[in-house]
Amino acid sequence: MNSLLALTDLTAAQMGLLAAIAFVAGVVRGFSGFALSAMVMASAVLILPPVELIPICWVLEMVASALMARGGWADADRTVTTGLVVGTTVGLPVGLALTTSVDVATSKLIALCVILVLAATQLARLRMAFLATRPGLYGSGVLAGLATGLASVGGMVVAIYVLASNSPARQMRGSLVVYLFASSIVSLFILLWFGVMDGTALARGLALAIPAAVGVAGGKLLFIPRFEPFYRPFCLSLLMALAALGLIRSAI
């Protein structure tokens, strides 16, 4: 245990709290197909700064994606996920580069407000027809990449796009799973390029991968036909709650 704490540069209390956060975030990811990083970033920022949480979230997302890849690939709308990944690949390095010249706190505040409003309009069943167009697809991907680089909320932007389609719950969930897996592969090279991923970050991610994996397995068991009608409202409510939590934390 002491060697693990030394590798991760964490206290026992910090490791215990992070493990609990990773488990709960894993349960939500297993059911919804997204929100693991958003929940970790929202909850663990009191323990570690965001720049140290980003590579940890990458490891946890890859573990979750590996556990959910089989079902996600079969259910996903691959045309949509390809367009989103292409757009994200363009937007992510721009977003990371802008962090040196743009007020990140203000950028995150704006992104969270937009997510909160869009999720609320979808929950109210208001249609956003422009999202169904090809420019809407690639534009959402670019916006997600920018949001990831600036504020680590790109997955929430993609979730808004996917949930706007009113597709079957399994297809929406599968599309989110495949997108997060593909975009994580792309983001690894960018994280290495910017020097964000190091040995300590990797050790922390691997240590937290076990509770996260247990949580994902439990969340997957909850995704049954009986609960599928509640999938979309649950995800939109989750997005609103995460965005509101982020706004409250920013204001404090």
Rounded to an integer, what distance in angstroms lies between the CA atom of residue 233 and that of residue 200?
38
Q: Position of tokens 């992104």? A: 111
pTM of the model: 0.80
* 134-158 pLDDT tens trace: 888 999 999 888 887 776 677 778 8
For every residue of 15-28, DSSP letters joined together read HHHHHHHHHHHHHH
For residue 213, give the nearest of 55, 5, 66, 51 by alpha carbon: 66
Kindly compute the dihedral angle of the four CA atoms of residues 156, 103, 196, 57, in this order, to the nearest 10 degrees. -20
* 153-209 pLDDT tens trace: 777 788 888 888 778 888 988 898 888 888 888 777 777 776 767 888 889 999 999
